[in-house]
Amino acid sequence: MKKGFFVLMLAVLCCISACSSAQSTSAKKILIVYLSRTNNTKAIANLIHDEVGGKLVSLELEKPYPENYQSIVQQVAKENETGYLPPLKTKIDSIDQYDVVFVGFPTWGMKLPPPVKSFLKQYDLTGKTIVPFNTNAGYGIGSTFETVKELCPKSNVLDGFTTKGGIERDGVYFVMQGEREKQAREEIKAWLQKIKVQRQ
């Protein structure tokens, strides 16, 4: 009787071990995509990557925006008016393999930057968890997070993260360093804990 009990327990333990192994090999895969002009959004993307891992990808255009601030403001305003989606130089291989996609961007004219719209339109994100994150010049997210939800109707869009970055208009560029970086790191940790996204 005892022998039979031990054989049964051994079989149960083997089954549990096999299930645990199966879960670890099917862990969710994370992609972090970001658009960054003054490197503040890039810095936030790197901090998120430090916490959750995954693949980090910068969005680049086939034809880069002009360096002059006023020129880019005018071009982006025109793109928003016409609905033009600038072609991306960046290509994501096998996006099907990713379960969680972080999408980072600055606020441009209180709207989602056209290159980010290009990304969200170009790839099928059906069934994926989308996590927006944002840097801005102090005016907030504008309509950016709502636009992400509109462009990802078949995805699970989680609550986003936003923080103040540089103010390119005033010549204030990269600010995510020193104490500001430490503060952002703590804010990101608290946010990730809140939305329950952890390193896989």
pLDDT digits (tens, 9 = 90+) for 127-146: 999 999 999 999 999 999 99
Residue 163 parent element (H or E): strand 161-164
Residue 95 parent element (H or E): none
**Helix, strand and coil percent figures for the chain, each rounded to 5:** 45, 20, 35
Nearest to 135 by CA among 80, 169, 175, 101: 175
Q: How many angstroms separate the CA atoms of 71 and 52, rounded?
A: 36
pLDDT digits (tens, 9 = 90+) for 174-194: 899 999 999 999 999 999 999
Domain 27-195 has CATH 3.40.50.360: yes
Tokens 């950016």, located at residue: 144
Is residue 43 scored above 60 in pLDDT?
yes
Contacts with 17 (C-beta within 8 Å, 6 or more apart), sequence order: none
The full set of domain ranges for the chain reads 27-195
In contact, 189 and 161? CB cutoff 8 Å? no
pLDDT digits (tens, 9 = 90+) for 51-88: 999 999 999 999 999 999 999 999 999 999 999 999 99
